[in-house]
Amino acid sequence: MNWIALTDYSQINTLVDQSETFLIFKHSTRCSISSMAFSRFEREFDFDQVPVLYLDLIAYRSISNQLAESFNVHHQSPQVLLVKANVCLYNASHNAISAAAIKALL
């Protein structure tokens, strides 16, 4: 998977301004459940037509807080957000994260 490290909220603003559809995977590097979900997602999601951003929640918690506010979702970890035209179309966490559900929306 071609992960893009999300290290500054301006990256989100750029994608929104360009009306891009994009995916964000929020991952806690200290959580074993998050690590399992991340690994499973990497194995299952093989769709290269959308940017896939990776957010290290330990290093960039403030970005997660901004995402929660901007897209009206509760912060969770692990969590996946699918955003299109500045609207969060899909929001799931833990074992509810489904590559198949995301692919169906694309």
Question: pLDDT at position 27, please?
Answer: 93
The low-confidence residues of the chain, meaning pLDDT below 70, are none
Question: pLDDT at position 67, please?
Answer: 95
For residue 28, the one-letter residue type is: S
Cβ neighbours around 18 below 10 Å, total: 9
Any idea what the CATH number is for the domain that residue 18 is in? 3.40.30.10
How much is the mean pLDDT over the chain? Answer: 92
Taking only the tens place, the pLDDT of each residue in 41-60 is 999 988 788 999 999 999 99
Number of structural domains, the chain? 1
Structure tokens at 99: 């590559």
Question: pLDDT at position 61, please?
Answer: 93
Q: HSE (CB half, 13 Å, CA atoms) of 54?
A: 15
- Residue 70 gets which letter from DSSP? H
Domain that holds residue 101: 3-105
* Alpha-carbon dihedral sign for residues 72, 6, 94, 85: positive
Coil, strand or helix: which one is 46? coil
Residue in the block written with tokens 């901007």: 70
